[in-house]
A and B are shown apart, each in its own frame.
Chain A
């Protein structure tokens, strides 16, 4: 991991809620694995105080793309960034998705959970896997390119949750691996379904985060340990965990 200043090369507005921030970062672009994230802030701007943990959406040679949803002051500020503005970033951080070859892989995402799976899909395909992607969101703004689409309000794709699509497809087809990222409640349901179908699933978790490097223990998640549990950090032990190890109700 490094703490460096990088320039914005493009800020693409996807819709009113989402945007795609591209940075030029030759020092770190080669060392990124799918599933990892960066702790990001605008250089010289210390409000809000804490950096925002943002997953890598895509790596293209020396450029790194972050897909971001506006959810608070920090992400709102990022949405106004322009070409040549400077970001202060720490990363790449956290563990990464296990990258298989020649497997049937199912991707499931909800809302901004789409972001980390995008780069993963690219890597899975170049590693000779077959990939099927189910994506869902509240409404049309939350929808991005995938094989099956669900919205809560029915404004895009099928009306309902991604869990419907997940059950349907698992009944028809055998998958070797599932990768999942989205709201906690969605990941919890998906984890139950994956268990029912005896399919290994990895989830990318999120928690309120401060340091990003495993020092402050702020971003704790309950993970099974023997007959009990312990708290692990999303930033260092994660963000990727085997869904069977996560205690969803804690």
Chain B
């Protein structure tokens, strides 16, 4: 009996562990069997190729990592020709993360991706600037998230996941907007924002200054966001933020996550996903319990 089965909207997954977008690629098959994962999420793709931000792009802080990659990716065409075929041979559901600078652009990318049966779902990255709205990130405005989600939901029958940014005043209102507009599930959290400066020279450690902040240090922030969102929506949650082992994953399940993605820790331990699955399996066997029995069952709060 498989104690780790879970559902993410329309997708039935054999286990609840996947990878966070941008932290995992085909090269990881040197270390793990992709068929063992619950799902695989691609690095975010955009309509046109992006060469990314100037270096330095990375800086490690106390138990965390700052990154400023700038969505470097081969573009939709390059992805379809060179990346997608490499995942088509695996039975594990493949979820494509994509982003755009206008609602039309998101829509156009989705229409193209719809042609490929090897794609099981979409994770919509709404943390990027909206050129039609003064460059403010799509994901910070519930009305825009609603409009975008509604548009994309009308174009696909596949799993539609909206990935939320935590860099907002009220993440619940954004989550509800996505749910109301027809999202099948929500992914959270995208990276926090962070900076780091060399105290001797006053120089930013990251060339572009403000960077995405990930890693074990952000885990409590992520759990809090998952808890708040899961308490206020009915659709399932794909959670990520600082997971470094199976115990961290359990925390997220108790907070309301249906699926958990490991991100930064893939760099520390490339076998972390498989080790987490094995350990979760052992845990639920020893407790004679199924994963789904504990989702959202946080207790001890008065």
Contact = CB atoms under 8 A, between A and B. Distances in A.
Contact of A231 (B31, B51, B267): B51
Contacts of A221: 55
B67 A216 contact: yes
Contact of A48 (B57, B60, B67): B60
Interface stretch (B18-26, B144-152, B230-238, B292-300): B18-26
B23 A216 contact: yes
Quick one: which of A207, A209, A211, A212 has the most chain B CB within 10 A?
Answer: A211
Given A46-B268, A49-B264, A218 B25 contact: no
B64 interface: yes
A49 B60 contact: yes
B25 A3 contact: no
Contacts of A213: 25, 27-28, 30, 270
Interface residues of B, number: 35
Interface string A212-224: 1111111111100
B195 interface: no
A211 B57 CA distance: 13
A12 interface: no
A128 B54 CA distance: 41
Given A216-B69, A218-B69, A220-B72, A211 B52 contact: no
Contacts, number: 96
Interface in B22-63: 22-25, 27-28, 30-31, 43, 51-60, 63
Contacts of B60: 48-50
A231 B30 contact: no
A248 to B, nearest CB: 12
Nearest to A39: B267
Contacts of A229: 51
Interface in B244-263: 244
A49 B215 contact: yes
Interface string B146-169: 000000000000000000000000
Nearest to A214: B27
A210 B67 contact: yes
B271 interface: yes
Contacts of B31: 3, 90
A202 to B, nearest CB: 20
Interface string A87-124: 01010000000000000000000000000000000000
Listed residue (B58, B67, B69) with the most chain A CB atoms within 10 angstroms of its CB: B58
B216 interface: yes
Contacts of A41: 268
B22 A216 contact: yes
Given A3-B31, A49-B264, A213-B27, A219 B58 contact: yes
B24 A215 contact: yes
A93 B271 CA distance: 17
Given A90-B270, A231-B72, A208 B264 contact: no
A209 B25 contact: no
24 contacts: A1-B30, A3-B31, A3-B270, A46-B244, A46-B268, A47-B63, A48-B60, A49-B60, A49-B65, A49-B267, A208-B55, A211-B266, A213-B27, A214-B27, A215-B24, A215-B25, A215-B266, A217-B52, A219-B55, A220-B53, A220-B55, A230-B51, A231-B52, A231-B72
Interface of B: 22-25, 27-28, 30-31, 43, 51-60, 63-65, 67, 69, 72, 215-216, 244, 264, 266-271
Interface of A: 1-3, 41, 46-51, 88, 90, 207-222, 229-231, 236, 250
